[in-house]
Amino acid sequence: MAKRVGVLAFQGGVREHADMLRGLGCEVTLVKKASQLDEIDGIVLPGGESSTMDRILRRFDMRDQLAEKLQEGLPVLGTCAGLIMLAHHLEDPAPGQETLDVLDIDVRRNAFGPQRDSAVERIETTFGVVEAAFIRAPEVVRVGESIEVIARVDGRVVGVSAPTALGISFHPELTGDSTIHEQFLALV
């Protein structure tokens, strides 16, 4: 049976993740309400703007249920803004911004410069070389003991994993490289 995977669908790179997951044989749900969290076996938190997604999640009264599901072990892949949302602590949150506190990491937003410094790079990960787009990418500045580092760029941590979660600073869904999504689906 096809894996049922959700993409949090309020904002950001929703379609690219959905296309990638469908290409890998998943049944994709575009998640916009809390009840849909019971219909999926894993979820992608896409890139976009983490503070906006945080605000929308709270307005739609869905933040606490999502945090609870992820903390209980619903498999999750967070890319860029999604990684920021999974963090324990942000060095530079937007005013009032909160995280879902799923991964024992601290994150600095926009650590690789503004939009105009965006770049596509081939980076080493523990899963092999991945072609990755960096767009206002965050950096993981503290990694808890339970967390494995899966990717660095110039010594800076840009990818982490835990038993039910993967978080990356970059966007493989924009380059068509499915390595990270395949690793995520192995958790689902």
Q: Is 91 annotated as a binding residue?
A: no
56 is in an annotated binding site: no
Catalytic residue among 16, 26, 80, 139: 80
Closer to ligand GLN by Cβ: residue 69 or 136: 136
How big is the site for ligand GLN, counted in residues (CB under 6 A)?
A: 11
Distance from C-alpha of 48 to C-alpha of 143, rounded to nearest angstrom:
23
Task: Judge whether 80 counts as a catalytic residue.
Answer: yes
Contact flags string 81-120 toward ligand GLN, x per CB under 6 A: x--x------------------------xx----------
39 is an active site residue: no
Nearest to ligand GLN of 39, 121 (CB atom): 121
Query: Could you write out the DSSP letters of every residue in 87-156?
Result: -SEESSPPTT------SSEEEETTTT--GGG-EEEEEEETTEEEEEEESS--EEEEE-TT-EEEEEETTE
CB neighbourhood size of 23 (10 A): 11
Q: State the nearest-atom distance from the C-beta of 184 to ligand GLN, in Å.
A: 17
State the nearest-atom distance from the C-beta of 25 to ligand GLN, in Å.
26
Q: CB of residue 62 vs ligand GLN: minimum separation in angstroms?
A: 18
User: For the CA atoms of 165, 170, 175, 176, what is the dihedral angle to 10 degrees?
Assistant: 0
For residues 60-74, one letter each, b for 16 or more C-beta atoms within 10 angstroms of the residue's C-beta and e for the rest, the string is eebbeebbebbeeeb
List residues binding ligand GLN (CB under 6 A).
47-50, 80-81, 84, 109-110, 135-136
- Catalytic residue IDs: 80, 171, 173
Give the annotated binding-site residues for L-glutamine: 48-50, 109, 135-136
Give the annotated binding-site residues: 48-50, 109, 135-136
